[in-house]
Protein backbone atom coordinates (compact mmCIF):
# COMPACT_ATOMS: atom_id res chain seq x y z
CA UNK A 1 0.00 0.00 0.00
CA UNK A 2 1.24 3.42 -0.86
CA UNK A 3 2.31 5.03 2.43
CA UNK A 4 1.05 8.37 1.13
CA UNK A 5 -2.50 7.19 1.75
CA UNK A 6 -1.62 7.15 5.43
CA UNK A 7 -1.03 10.93 5.47
CA UNK A 8 -4.72 11.93 5.79
CA UNK A 9 -5.16 9.26 8.45
CA UNK A 10 -2.16 10.60 10.37
CA UNK A 11 -3.52 14.15 10.10
CA UNK A 12 -6.90 12.95 11.35
CA UNK A 13 -5.37 11.08 14.30
CA UNK A 14 -3.26 14.14 15.11
CA UNK A 15 -6.38 16.31 15.08
CA UNK A 16 -8.22 13.89 17.37
CA UNK A 17 -5.31 13.93 19.83
CA UNK A 18 -5.11 17.75 19.82
CA UNK A 19 -8.86 18.12 20.36
CA UNK A 20 -8.95 15.45 23.07
CA UNK A 21 -6.13 17.13 24.97
CA UNK A 22 -7.87 20.49 24.51
CA UNK A 23 -11.17 19.21 25.86
CA UNK A 24 -9.49 17.48 28.79
CA UNK A 25 -7.57 20.57 29.77
CA UNK A 26 -10.32 23.07 29.15
CA UNK A 27 -11.21 24.90 32.31
CA UNK A 28 -14.57 24.28 33.84
CA UNK A 29 -17.03 26.91 32.71
CA UNK A 30 -17.12 29.73 35.22
CA UNK A 31 -13.95 28.68 37.01
CA UNK A 32 -10.93 30.92 36.89
CA UNK A 33 -7.60 29.52 37.93
CA UNK A 34 -6.13 31.99 40.38
CA UNK A 35 -2.62 33.19 39.55
CA UNK A 36 -2.19 33.88 43.28
CA UNK A 37 -1.91 30.22 44.25
CA UNK A 38 1.67 29.56 45.33
CA UNK A 39 2.22 33.23 46.12
CA UNK A 40 1.91 35.33 49.24
CA UNK A 41 -1.66 36.44 49.86
CA UNK A 42 -2.05 40.16 49.12
CA UNK A 43 -2.10 42.07 52.41
CA UNK A 44 -5.61 42.59 53.68
CA UNK A 45 -7.12 44.34 56.67
CA UNK A 46 -10.88 44.35 57.22
CA UNK A 47 -13.28 45.44 59.96
CA UNK A 48 -14.80 42.78 62.21
CA UNK A 49 -18.47 42.02 61.70
CA UNK A 50 -19.34 42.13 65.40
CA UNK A 51 -17.14 45.11 66.20
CA UNK A 52 -16.53 47.28 63.11
CA UNK A 53 -14.25 49.52 65.17
CA UNK A 54 -11.73 46.68 65.34
CA UNK A 55 -10.08 45.04 62.38
CA UNK A 56 -8.31 41.83 61.48
CA UNK A 57 -5.41 41.65 59.04
CA UNK A 58 -3.34 39.10 57.18
CA UNK A 59 -0.35 40.21 59.28
CA UNK A 60 -2.07 39.11 62.50
CA UNK A 61 -2.67 35.66 61.02
CA UNK A 62 0.95 35.09 60.04
CA UNK A 63 2.18 31.89 61.63
CA UNK A 64 -1.23 30.23 61.46
CA UNK A 65 -3.05 28.13 58.90
CA UNK A 66 -6.40 29.56 57.91
CA UNK A 67 -9.12 29.30 55.34
CA UNK A 68 -10.38 32.65 54.07
CA UNK A 69 -13.95 32.12 52.93
CA UNK A 70 -15.79 34.79 50.93
CA UNK A 71 -19.55 34.60 51.39
CA UNK A 72 -22.64 36.74 51.57
CA UNK A 73 -26.23 36.36 52.64
CA UNK A 74 -27.25 37.23 49.05
CA UNK A 75 -25.28 34.24 47.79
CA UNK A 76 -27.47 31.21 47.23
CA UNK A 77 -24.55 28.80 46.84
CA UNK A 78 -23.14 29.93 50.20
CA UNK A 79 -26.15 28.38 51.91
CA UNK A 80 -25.30 25.08 50.24
CA UNK A 81 -21.73 25.41 51.45
CA UNK A 82 -22.62 26.35 55.01
CA UNK A 83 -23.25 22.79 56.20
CA UNK A 84 -19.79 21.69 55.07
CA UNK A 85 -18.18 24.70 56.76
CA UNK A 86 -19.89 23.79 60.03
CA UNK A 87 -18.61 20.22 59.69
CA UNK A 88 -15.10 21.50 58.97
CA UNK A 89 -15.32 23.71 62.05
CA UNK A 90 -16.27 20.69 64.20
CA UNK A 91 -13.24 18.80 62.83
CA UNK A 92 -11.14 21.73 64.04
CA UNK A 93 -8.28 21.03 61.65
CA UNK A 94 -8.01 24.65 60.56
CA UNK A 95 -9.63 27.93 61.50
CA UNK A 96 -12.02 29.44 59.00
CA UNK A 97 -12.10 33.21 58.64
CA UNK A 98 -15.29 34.46 57.01
CA UNK A 99 -15.32 37.49 54.75
CA UNK A 100 -18.86 38.81 54.50
CA UNK A 101 -18.64 40.30 51.02
CA UNK A 102 -20.79 43.23 49.88
CA UNK A 103 -23.43 42.59 52.46
CA UNK A 104 -25.44 44.15 55.26
CA UNK A 105 -23.97 43.51 58.70
CA UNK A 106 -27.41 42.92 60.20
CA UNK A 107 -28.27 40.33 57.56
CA UNK A 108 -24.95 38.58 58.14
CA UNK A 109 -25.46 38.44 61.92
CA UNK A 110 -28.96 37.11 61.40
CA UNK A 111 -27.68 34.41 59.01
CA UNK A 112 -25.01 33.28 61.46
CA UNK A 113 -27.38 33.14 64.42
CA UNK A 114 -29.92 31.13 62.42
CA UNK A 115 -27.62 28.76 60.52
CA UNK A 116 -24.74 28.54 62.97
CA UNK A 117 -21.35 30.19 62.89
CA UNK A 118 -18.55 28.14 61.34
CA UNK A 119 -16.05 31.02 61.55
CA UNK A 120 -13.32 31.79 64.05
CA UNK A 121 -13.60 35.42 63.00
CA UNK A 122 -15.86 37.22 60.56
CA UNK A 123 -14.73 40.38 58.80
CA UNK A 124 -16.64 42.48 56.28
CA UNK A 125 -15.66 43.70 52.83
CA UNK A 126 -18.43 46.12 52.01
CA UNK A 127 -16.84 47.97 49.10
CA UNK A 128 -15.38 44.79 47.60
CA UNK A 129 -11.82 46.16 47.34
CA UNK A 130 -10.23 43.25 49.15
CA UNK A 131 -12.19 40.77 47.04
CA UNK A 132 -10.75 42.32 43.88
CA UNK A 133 -7.27 42.37 45.38
CA UNK A 134 -7.62 38.64 45.98
CA UNK A 135 -9.06 37.97 42.54
CA UNK A 136 -12.49 36.91 43.81
CA UNK A 137 -15.04 36.67 40.99
CA UNK A 138 -18.11 35.18 42.66
CA UNK A 139 -19.05 33.94 46.11
CA UNK A 140 -18.34 31.52 47.57
CA UNK A 141 -14.60 31.35 47.07
CA UNK A 142 -12.04 30.18 49.61
CA UNK A 143 -8.30 30.41 50.07
CA UNK A 144 -6.18 28.04 52.11
CA UNK A 145 -3.29 30.05 53.55
CA UNK A 146 -0.25 28.56 55.26
CA UNK A 147 1.66 30.02 58.24
CA UNK A 148 4.08 31.79 55.86
CA UNK A 149 1.11 33.65 54.38
CA UNK A 150 1.25 31.76 51.08
CA UNK A 151 -1.96 30.71 49.34
CA UNK A 152 -1.56 26.96 48.91
CA UNK A 153 -4.99 26.29 47.42
CA UNK A 154 -7.99 28.18 46.14
CA UNK A 155 -11.44 26.70 45.97
CA UNK A 156 -13.19 28.64 43.20
CA UNK A 157 -16.68 27.67 44.30
CA UNK A 158 -18.61 25.75 46.92
CA UNK A 159 -16.51 23.71 49.35
CA UNK A 160 -18.01 20.23 49.12
CA UNK A 161 -17.29 17.25 51.37
CA UNK A 162 -15.19 15.91 48.48
CA UNK A 163 -13.13 19.04 47.97
CA UNK A 164 -12.61 19.38 51.72
CA UNK A 165 -11.42 15.78 51.87
CA UNK A 166 -9.26 15.82 48.75
CA UNK A 167 -8.03 19.40 48.41
CA UNK A 168 -7.96 21.01 51.86
CA UNK A 169 -7.16 18.26 54.38
CA UNK A 170 -4.18 16.71 52.51
CA UNK A 171 -2.51 20.12 52.36
CA UNK A 172 -2.84 20.72 56.08
CA UNK A 173 -0.24 19.46 58.53
CA UNK A 174 -1.31 16.37 60.49
CA UNK A 175 -3.62 17.13 63.44
CA UNK A 176 -2.35 19.97 65.51
CA UNK A 177 -3.73 22.62 67.73
CA UNK A 178 -5.73 25.36 66.10
CA UNK A 179 -7.54 28.14 67.88
CA UNK A 180 -10.95 26.94 69.02
CA UNK A 181 -13.52 27.77 66.34
CA UNK A 182 -16.00 30.38 67.41
CA UNK A 183 -13.57 32.01 69.81
CA UNK A 184 -13.10 35.71 69.39
CA UNK A 185 -15.98 36.29 66.98
CA UNK B 1 -54.59 54.81 5.13
CA UNK B 2 -53.29 58.31 4.95
CA UNK B 3 -53.55 58.69 8.72
CA UNK B 4 -51.52 55.54 9.30
CA UNK B 5 -48.79 56.74 6.93
CA UNK B 6 -48.66 60.05 8.77
CA UNK B 7 -48.48 58.21 12.08
CA UNK B 8 -45.65 56.04 10.77
CA UNK B 9 -43.72 59.10 9.60
CA UNK B 10 -44.21 60.77 12.97
CA UNK B 11 -43.08 57.65 14.84
CA UNK B 12 -40.02 57.19 12.67
CA UNK B 13 -39.25 60.87 13.08
CA UNK B 14 -39.50 60.50 16.86
CA UNK B 15 -36.73 57.90 16.77
CA UNK B 16 -34.40 60.69 15.82
CA UNK B 17 -35.19 62.47 19.07
CA UNK B 18 -34.46 59.60 21.45
CA UNK B 19 -31.33 60.32 23.43
CA UNK B 20 -28.30 58.51 22.04
CA UNK B 21 -28.04 55.14 23.76
CA UNK B 22 -24.69 53.49 23.82
CA UNK B 23 -24.11 49.77 24.03
CA UNK B 24 -22.49 50.18 27.45
CA UNK B 25 -25.31 52.17 28.94
CA UNK B 26 -25.11 49.87 31.99
CA UNK B 27 -22.29 52.10 33.18
CA UNK B 28 -23.40 55.65 33.86
CA UNK B 29 -20.08 56.63 35.45
CA UNK B 30 -18.33 59.62 33.95
CA UNK B 31 -14.83 60.69 34.91
CA UNK B 32 -14.28 64.40 35.23
CA UNK B 33 -11.24 64.39 32.96
CA UNK B 34 -12.27 63.62 29.34
CA UNK B 35 -8.85 62.11 28.58
CA UNK B 36 -9.20 59.70 31.50
CA UNK B 37 -12.78 58.97 30.46
CA UNK B 38 -11.58 58.01 26.97
CA UNK B 39 -8.93 55.66 28.38
CA UNK B 40 -11.48 54.29 30.84
CA UNK B 41 -13.90 53.44 28.04
CA UNK B 42 -11.23 51.65 26.04
CA UNK B 43 -10.11 49.68 29.11
CA UNK B 44 -13.55 48.49 30.17
CA UNK B 45 -14.22 47.25 26.64
CA UNK B 46 -10.97 45.29 26.59
CA UNK B 47 -11.46 43.63 29.95
CA UNK B 48 -13.73 40.68 30.57
CA UNK B 49 -16.35 40.51 33.28
CA UNK B 50 -14.98 37.71 35.46
CA UNK B 51 -18.40 36.46 36.43
CA UNK B 52 -20.34 36.60 33.15
CA UNK B 53 -17.44 35.71 30.96
CA UNK B 54 -18.71 36.57 27.53
CA UNK B 55 -19.39 40.19 28.44
CA UNK B 56 -16.88 42.95 28.76
CA UNK B 57 -16.77 45.02 31.94
CA UNK B 58 -18.53 47.70 29.91
CA UNK B 59 -21.48 45.47 29.04
CA UNK B 60 -22.02 43.75 32.35
CA UNK B 61 -24.35 44.87 35.09
CA UNK B 62 -22.97 42.25 37.50
CA UNK B 63 -21.96 43.66 40.87
CA UNK B 64 -18.36 42.46 40.47
CA UNK B 65 -18.15 44.25 37.09
CA UNK B 66 -19.30 47.48 38.74
CA UNK B 67 -16.66 47.00 41.44
CA UNK B 68 -13.97 46.34 38.85
CA UNK B 69 -14.99 49.47 36.89
CA UNK B 70 -14.80 51.44 40.12
CA UNK B 71 -11.34 50.02 40.78
CA UNK B 72 -10.21 50.99 37.27
CA UNK B 73 -11.52 54.54 37.68
CA UNK B 74 -9.66 54.86 40.97
CA UNK B 75 -6.44 53.56 39.45
CA UNK B 76 -6.77 55.95 36.50
CA UNK B 77 -7.35 58.86 38.88
CA UNK B 78 -4.31 57.77 40.84
CA UNK B 79 -2.21 58.18 37.71
CA UNK B 80 -1.70 54.51 36.84
CA UNK B 81 -0.99 53.70 33.20
CA UNK B 82 -3.25 51.39 31.17
CA UNK B 83 -0.46 48.81 31.26
CA UNK B 84 -0.21 48.96 35.05
CA UNK B 85 -3.97 48.59 35.43
CA UNK B 86 -4.07 45.58 33.11
CA UNK B 87 -1.03 44.04 34.79
CA UNK B 88 -2.69 44.42 38.20
CA UNK B 89 -5.90 42.74 37.08
CA UNK B 90 -4.01 39.97 35.29
CA UNK B 91 -2.01 39.34 38.47
CA UNK B 92 -5.29 38.84 40.34
CA UNK B 93 -7.61 37.25 37.78
CA UNK B 94 -5.11 35.74 35.29
CA UNK B 95 -4.75 36.64 31.65
CA UNK B 96 -8.26 35.38 31.12
CA UNK B 97 -9.52 38.84 32.03
CA UNK B 98 -7.99 40.24 28.83
CA UNK B 99 -10.12 39.90 25.74
CA UNK B 100 -6.97 40.42 23.67
CA UNK B 101 -4.24 38.08 24.94
CA UNK B 102 -0.78 39.58 25.23
CA UNK B 103 1.90 38.39 22.81
CA UNK B 104 4.25 35.99 24.52
CA UNK B 105 6.46 33.05 23.65
CA UNK B 106 3.96 30.80 25.34
CA UNK B 107 1.20 31.66 22.88
CA UNK B 108 3.44 32.52 19.92
CA UNK B 109 2.42 29.30 18.17
CA UNK B 110 -1.15 30.61 18.12
CA UNK B 111 -0.08 33.58 16.02
CA UNK B 112 2.46 31.64 13.95
CA UNK B 113 0.27 28.65 13.14
CA UNK B 114 -1.84 30.27 10.35
CA UNK B 115 1.30 31.42 8.53
CA UNK B 116 2.92 27.98 8.93
CA UNK B 117 -0.21 26.27 7.63
CA UNK B 118 -0.39 28.69 4.70
CA UNK B 119 3.24 27.98 3.75
CA UNK B 120 2.58 24.26 4.05
CA UNK B 121 -0.44 24.60 1.76
CA UNK B 122 1.55 26.56 -0.82
CA UNK B 123 4.32 23.94 -0.70
CA UNK B 124 1.86 21.08 -1.25
CA UNK B 125 0.05 22.98 -4.01
CA UNK B 126 3.30 23.74 -5.87
CA UNK B 127 4.36 20.10 -5.68
CA UNK B 128 1.03 18.85 -6.95
CA UNK B 129 0.97 21.38 -9.79
CA UNK B 130 4.54 20.45 -10.79
CA UNK B 131 3.70 16.74 -10.80
CA UNK B 132 0.57 17.31 -12.84
CA UNK B 133 2.50 19.50 -15.27
CA UNK B 134 5.03 16.71 -15.77
CA UNK B 135 2.19 14.41 -16.79
CA UNK B 136 1.06 16.64 -19.66
CA UNK B 137 1.83 14.87 -22.87
CA UNK B 138 4.58 16.75 -24.64
CA UNK B 139 5.37 13.90 -27.05
CA UNK B 140 5.62 15.45 -30.53
CA UNK B 141 4.27 12.23 -32.07
CA UNK B 142 0.49 12.34 -32.42
CA UNK B 143 -0.75 9.30 -30.52
CA UNK B 144 -4.12 9.55 -32.11
CA UNK B 145 -2.78 9.21 -35.64
CA UNK B 146 -4.59 6.52 -37.52
CA UNK B 147 -7.27 6.07 -34.91
CA UNK B 148 -10.67 6.19 -36.42
CA UNK B 149 -12.86 8.81 -34.87
CA UNK B 150 -16.53 8.35 -34.64
State which of A66-80, A163-177, B42-56 shows the largest mean pLDDT. A66-80
Q: Does B92 lie at the interface with A, CB-CB under 8 angstroms? A: yes
Q: Do B94 and A131 touch (CB under 8 A)?
A: no
ipTM greater than 0.90: no
Neighbours of B37 (CB within 10 A): 15
Rounded to whole angstroms, how far apart are CA atoms B58 and B97? 13
Nearest CA in chain B to A103: B63
Which residues are registered as beta bridge partners of A100? A71, A124
Q: How does DSSP assign B84-147, residue by residue?
A: HHHHHHHHHH-GGGBSSPPP-GGGHHHHHHHHHHHHHHHHHHHHHHHHHHHHS---SS-TTTTP
- Model confidence over B89-129: pLDDT tens digits? 999 998 889 988 777 787 788 888 999 999 999 999 999 99
Give this prediction's pTM.
Answer: 0.74
- Model confidence over B34-49: pLDDT tens digits? 999 999 999 999 999 9
Task: Give me the pLDDT at residue A160, please.
Answer: 94
CA of B25 vs chain A CAs: smallest distance (Å) = 22
- Nearest Cα to B22, choosing from B30, B31, B11, B10? B30
| CB contact at 8 A, B89 and B36 | no
- Model confidence over B68-79: pLDDT tens digits? 999 999 999 999
Q: Do B91 and A35 touch (CB under 8 A)?
A: yes
CATH 3.30.450.80 fits A45-171, yes or no: no
Nearest CA in chain A to B67: A128
Can you give the three-state secondary structure of B24-91, one letter per residue? CCCCCCCCCCHHHHHHHHHHHHHEECCCCCCCECCCCCCHHHHHHHHHHHHHHHCCCCHHHHHHHHHH
For A137, the closest of B64, B90, B91 (CB atoms) is B64
The values of phi and psi at residue B128, to 5°, are -65, -45
DSSP A150: B
CA dist list (Å): A174 to A81, A145, A169, B39 = 24, 15, 9, 51
Chain A residue set in contact with B, beta carbons under 8 Å: 29-30, 32-36, 42, 102, 127-129, 131-138
Q: Do A32 and B96 touch (CB under 8 A)?
A: yes
For A128, the closest of B53, B67, B96 (CB atoms) is B67
Amino acid sequence: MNPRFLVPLAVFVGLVVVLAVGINHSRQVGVLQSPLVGHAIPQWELPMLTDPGRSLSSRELKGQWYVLNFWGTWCYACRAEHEQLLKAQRDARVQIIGVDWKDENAAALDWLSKLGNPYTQVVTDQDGRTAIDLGVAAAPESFLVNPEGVIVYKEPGVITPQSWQHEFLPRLPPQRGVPAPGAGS
Amino acid sequence: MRASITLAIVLVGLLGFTPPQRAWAVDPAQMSDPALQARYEVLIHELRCVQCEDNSLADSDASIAADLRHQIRDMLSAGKTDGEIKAYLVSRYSEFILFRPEYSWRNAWLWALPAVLLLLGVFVAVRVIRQRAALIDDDPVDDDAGVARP
